[in-house]
A and B are shown apart, each in its own frame.
Chain A
Amino acid sequence: MLSCKEVTRLLSDAEERPLELRERVALRLHLLICHGCTNFRRQLIFLRRSARRYFGRDEGGTP
């Protein structure tokens, strides 16, 4: 089983490289039972959206 610490790293890496099958399976299993990491995953997704919006807004005007 993956630790939460490993999961946070894996969730970040998932934005950079394709995860191997075993990594995806282990990740999914962990997320099923860990609400902390599930929240973390949602927050990373939100962070990515915010960053894109932030830089996008810099082009069109101040946020």
Chain B
Amino acid sequence: MLVTSVSTARLPAAFAPMTDPASTAQPAAAALWDTEFLTELRRDMTRFAELQLRDRASAEDAVQEALADAMAGARQFAGRSAVKTWVLSILRHKIIDQIRSRTRTINISSLAGDTDDGADDFDALFTASGHWRAEDIPRAWADPEASLSQQQFWAVFDVCLHDLPDNTARVFMMREHLGFDTPEICQTLGISSNNCWVILHRARMQLRLCLEKRWFGADVGSRKEVR
């Protein structure tokens, strides 16, 4: 649910955590008063917003607005991770708002450059007749399931996401993280379905290649041992 901004009159008169011995649930503001928790949360939120918006200033705006809404909210939570989940969902809406308002000013031709059908970097992986080149043919990855529980894998995944070109990343994030379906992405960004699919295809090709190179490739055996 979208949390609407609340006037400052609703902020607690006493800027201090409220304690209710009768229950363990507390308003979000109580958890957010913990400086350490807030610092870490803000850092995670900024990183998260930056990944979507690709622009530090917009990311910080979104984080600031989300925290302001969260502080003013009166919902009760039984634990910090519940607060975090909720605050991040507010942030997600702020990010969506930013994307929507920003695309009204986006120069469509800058997106068009990214959707050039046929001018695909990944053409180099295939022969003229469209078969995989021998050196690029996908090889089976050794135990991908095990990677999901390795910290190092996620660090690599993070790098691969950041390596995506901005326009590609934006569409991929909208699809895979914000959960937009294709028509919504097309409408928001003003591109055709086919353009959208081309971009998603590129994103997947690049991510797959990145993971193969940086994680599943033959020379990363030693890295896999780190837990």
Residues of chain A whose beta carbon lies under 8 Å from any beta carbon of chain B = 3-6, 8-9, 12-13, 15-17, 36-37, 39-40, 42-44, 46-55, 57-63
Contact = CB atoms under 8 A, between A and B. Distances in A.
Contacts of B85: 59-60
A51 B177 contact: yes
A39 B201 contact: no
Contacts, number: 95
Interface of B: 44, 48, 81, 84-85, 88-89, 122-123, 125-126, 129-132, 137-141, 144, 148, 151, 154, 157-158, 161, 176-177, 182, 193, 196-197, 200-201, 204-205, 207-208, 211-212
B197 A39 contact: no
B154 A57 contact: yes
Nearest to B137: A36
Contacts of A8: 122, 201, 205
Contacts of B123: 5
B150 to A, nearest CB: 10
Contacts of B126: 3-5
Contacts of A62: 44
Given A46-B141, A47-B207, A62-B44, A3 B197 contact: no
List the 7 shortest-distance A-B pairs measured between CB atoms, nearest first: A3-B130, A63-B154, A36-B137, A5-B130, A39-B138, A12-B201, A55-B177
Given A52-B176, A61-B81, 10 more contacts: A4-B131, A5-B123, A8-B201, A16-B196, A36-B132, A40-B138, A43-B212, A47-B208, A50-B157, A59-B85
Contacts of B154: 54, 57, 63
Nearest to B86: A59
A63 B176 contact: no
Contacts of B81: 60-61
B146 to A, nearest CB: 11
A16 to B, nearest CB: 5
Contact of B138 (A12, A43, A54): A43
Contact of B130 (A6, A50, A57): A6
Contacts of A52: 176
B131 A3 contact: yes
